[in-house]
Amino acid sequence: MNITVYCGVALGNSPAYKQSAIDLGTWMAQAGHTLVYGGGGIGMMGALANAVLDHGGNVLGIIPQFLVDREQLNPRIVNPVVVQTMAERKKLLCDNADAFVMLPGGIGTFEEITEVLSQIKLGFIAEPVFIVNIEGCYDHFVASLNELCRNGFLKEEESPYTVVASIAELAAVIGA
Domain borders along the chain are 2-174
Query: What percent of the chain has a predicted confidence (pLDDT) above 70?
Result: 99
Query: Is it the case that residue 117 has pLDDT exceeding 90?
Result: yes
- Going across the sheet that includes 81-83, the strands are 81-83, 58-64, 34-37, 2-6, 99-102, 129-132, 162-164
Cα separation, 112 vs 114, whole angstroms:
6
Query: Does 3.40.50.450 match the CATH number of domain 2-174?
Result: yes
In this predicted model, what pLDDT tens digit does every residue of 122-168 receive, in sequence order? 999 999 999 999 999 999 999 999 999 999 998 877 778 999 999 99
Summary count for the chain: helices (H), strands (E): 7, 7
In this predicted model, what pLDDT tens digit does every residue of 43-73 receive, in sequence order? 999 999 999 999 999 999 999 999 998 878 9
Average pLDDT over residues 77-103: 96
Confidence band for 176, pLDDT divided at 50, 70 and 90: low
Query: Is it the case that residue 81 has pLDDT exceeding 80?
Result: yes
DSSP string, 62-121: EEEHHHHHTT-B-TT-SS-EEESSHHHHHHHHHHT-SEEEE-S--HHHHHHHHHHHHHHH
* Beta carbons of 67 and 73 less than 8 angstroms apart: yes
Q: What are the C-alpha distances in Å from 99 to residues 11, 75, 150?
A: 23, 25, 26
Cα separation, 39 vs 64, whole angstroms:
9
pTM score, two decimals?
Answer: 0.95
Quickly count: other Cβ atoms within 10 Å of residue 71's Cβ. 9
How far apart, in Å, do the first and last CA atoms of the chain sit?
A: 9
